[in-house]
Amino acid sequence: MSEERKPIIFSVDDDPQVLRSLKRDLRSEYKNEYRIISTDSANEALASLAEIKKKGEEVALFLSDQRMPEMLGVDFLEQAKEFYPKARRVLLTAYSDTDAAIKAINEVQLDYYLMKPWDPPGERLYPVINDLLDEWQAGYRPAFRGIRVVGYQYSPKSHSLKDFLAGNLLPYQWLDIESSAEAQELLDLHGIEPKKLPAVFFEDGTALADPAVAEVASRVGLQPTAQSDLYDVVIIGAGPAGLAAAVYGGSEGLKTLLVEKRAPGGQAGTSSRIENYLGFPNGLSGSDLARRAISQATRFGIEFLSPQEVAGIEVDGAYKTIHLADGSKVNTKAVVITTGVDYRKLPSKGIADFTGAGIYYGAAMTEANACRNKKVFIVGGGNSAGQGAVYLSQFAEKVTILVRKEDLTSTMSSYLIDQINGIDNIEVQGRRQIVEAQGDGHLQCLTIEHIEDGASYTTDADALFIFIGARPFTDWLGNNILRNGKGYIKTGRDLTTDEQFPKIWKKDREPFLLETCQPGIFAAGDVRSGAMNRVASAVGEGAMAIKFVHEYLAEV
């Protein structure tokens, strides 16, 4: 256990000689399991306790001298109890103070008093402390060590922060201000008002009130700024295709920059379990796949910018300038666009009003704990919807999947359908659509319509997760990148049927298989017109794109 994670034994005595002896004896016996902190000032001790509390550290035992110039030991231990009410408290006394010590035990519930000197400690100090520490350990539950987020459950801002942290594989603890005493305690310690929520508390004892995602990203060490002026290849989007391109670009010696606006993994990164990915017979989560890929890519020396959004691409001869949303620019010889797709927005009445407040696009893993013993609905019949339903069924009282088709057979993998059929608290309702979402501050009811006869009913609903359709992330691209009617990027042979292609393409050769209408700019994965829309195929396209990048770089 690291030193900072050990529970603390805290001692106070204004006599330097006594304090040295106490520190020596405590360290000799307890240093392997406890951190020993000593001070000669009661006021300094109280100030230290405030900081220790902010950092989320635990104090197991206090030892305090009775007669100190700043305050009596009894008074110090009473104030220390406000910080750590479960810590054991011992008063150190001279023979003349024994009556006061006995009185304090009865009046303020001190745990013990020790006569000074305590030699030999093996007989007069350690047995007492061992008993007290054993009592404390019996009720001790280690505090969460890491980022803590305090907010209102049905706050879109709170959801955005949780989704960002989860997507970037940053462990955090969620504390609902309306149900957690610890949440209110943290706000009081840091002087943060409830109107400033959500708030993020860091392991070093600092906090951010109502922060933007970019502020949190900066605090946790994510890198939003490029370190070089020129790259061999810039990959835009860190979904499966982008991650594969980054791994192969880095491993093959290309100076590679990977840019992601939210979190690695893309839409696949939110999957609770991918069970048909080659080489993982027990399946793996989308976040685990993303974690492994980022680790692998950075080991090969690629640079990863996140969170950072690309605003546009400017082509100037053989070089491309990537314009970032913060106003900065990056120059590169080649570009691979792997921005993927997002879930399509559900246009029904009331959906937008409660998005982030009971209605979520994807995000099943982020909000699963909040669905414990609740009634949950899912819209969508694809694999992502099925994976979300299976995962949420472990928490929710009931999960209802609503699909426009008769059933799931034409849209979902059979292994997922078999799993769903075997789970008692999942129900599939075919030929259904949501007409309206209702609630007071958060989702409470859904009105659902039967498509064939138009009959509708309203039912209680605690949460709705939407996994429908696919909308490509290409709105940021200018007219110099040809796309089909749905916004997917045209590449390779598909370009030759576009009447605009001859006006844009200036090379003597035909475009490479994954190349766009701009030489040296490639597209891979779900964002590409004609893509297969599977994780494995996206990975394959990402790797293939780097092969074509090499061929392009050889000719410029």
The mean predicted confidence, pLDDT, of the chain is 92
Number of domains in the chain: 4
Q: What is the pLDDT of residue 266?
A: 87
Same domain, yes or no: 12 and 108 = yes
Decide if 514 contacts 233 (C-beta within 8 A): no
Best CA proximity match to 34, nearest among 68, 57, 67? 57
Q: Are residues 323 and 261 in the same domain?
A: yes
CATH number of residue 36's parent domain: 3.40.50.2300
Q: What is the pLDDT of residue 2?
A: 59
- Residue 347 counted as domain residue: no
pTM: 0.79
Residues 20 and 134 in one domain: yes
Task: Say what the pLDDT of residue 423 is.
Answer: 97
**At 192, is the secondary structure helix, strand, or coil?**
coil
Range among 112-116, 395-399, 475-479 rated most confident: 395-399
Range of the domain at 179: 147-219
Residues 174 and 188 in one domain: yes
225 within a domain of the structure (yes/no) = no
Instruction: Identify the band that residue 145 occupies on the pLDDT scale cut at 50, 70 and 90.
Output: confident
Q: What CATH number is attached to the domain comprising 414?
A: 3.50.50.60
Residues with Cβ within 8 Å of 168's Cβ and at least 6 positions away in sequence, in order, are: 217, 220, 222, 263, 264, 306
CATH code (residue 168): 3.40.30.10
Query: At residue 421, does pLDDT exceed 80?
Result: yes
Question: Of 466, 490, 512, which residue sits at a domain end?
Answer: 466
DSSP assigned state of 83: H
299 Cβ contact list (under 8 Å, min separation 6)? 250
The average pLDDT across 160-171 equals 90
Is residue 283 situated within a structural domain?
yes
User: Scanning the structure block, which residue is given the tokens 């409660």?
Assistant: 354
Q: What is the pLDDT of residue 361?
A: 92
Q: Which of 219, 242, 260 is the last residue of a domain?
A: 219
Mean pLDDT for 170-187 is: 93
pLDDT band of residue 7 (cuts 50, 70, 90) is: very high
pLDDT score of 106? 67
Looking at the fold, whether 132 and 9 belong to one and the same domain comes out as yes
- On whether both 237 and 202 belong to a single domain, the answer is no
Q: Is the pLDDT of residue 1 over 60?
A: no
Q: Check whether residue 335 and residue 482 sit in a common domain.
A: yes
CA distances from 267 to 20, 97, 213, 395 (A): 59, 69, 19, 22
Which pLDDT value is given to residue 112?
87
Would you say residue 308 lies in a domain?
Answer: yes
CB burial of residue 203 (10 Å; 0-12, 13-18, 19+):
middle
In tens, the pLDDT along 339-353 reads 999 889 999 999 999
**Does 25 have pLDDT greater than 90?**
yes
**pLDDT reading at 539 higher than 70:** yes
- Out of 437, 466, 495, a domain closes at 466
Strand bridging mode 207-209 / 199-201: antiparallel
Determine the distance from the C-alpha atom of residue 556 to the mean position of all C-alpha atoms in its chain, rounded to a whole number: 41
* Residues of the chain above pLDDT 90, percent: 77
Taking only Cα atoms into account, the Rg of the chain, rounded to an integer number of angstroms, comes to 30
CA distance 87 to 81: 7
CA dihedral 68, 74, 79, 84 (to 10 degrees): 120
- Predicted confidence band at 97 (pLDDT cuts at 50, 70, 90)? low
Is 119 among the domain residues?
yes
**Are 485 and 385 found together in one domain?**
no
What per-residue confidence (pLDDT) applies to 104?
66
Per-residue pLDDT at 273 exceeds 90: no
SS3 244: helix
Is residue 268 located within the same domain as residue 207? Answer: no
Q: What φ, ψ does residue 49 adopt, rounded to 5°?
A: -65, -35
Q: Is residue 8 part of a domain?
A: yes
CA dihedral 183, 188, 193, 198 (to 10 degrees): -30
- The reply to whether 98 and 112 lie within a common domain is yes
For residue 466, pLDDT beyond 70: yes
- The per-residue pLDDT for range 32-73, each reduced to its tens digit, is 999 999 999 999 999 999 999 988 889 999 999 988 999 989
Query: For residue 144, what pLDDT band results from cuts at 50, 70 and 90?
Result: confident
Does residue 224 fall inside a structural domain? Answer: no
pLDDT tens across 227-261, in order?
Answer: 998 999 999 999 999 999 999 999 999 999 999 99
What is the spatial distance between Cα 11 and Cα 13, in angstroms, rounded to a whole number? 7
pLDDT tens digit string along 492-504?
999 999 999 999 9
394 lies in the same domain as 514: no
Other CB atoms closer than 10 Å to residue 452's CB: what's the count? 10
Q: Are residues 214 and 255 in the same domain?
A: no
Is the pLDDT assigned to residue 115 strictly greater than 90?
no
pLDDT score, position 96: 59
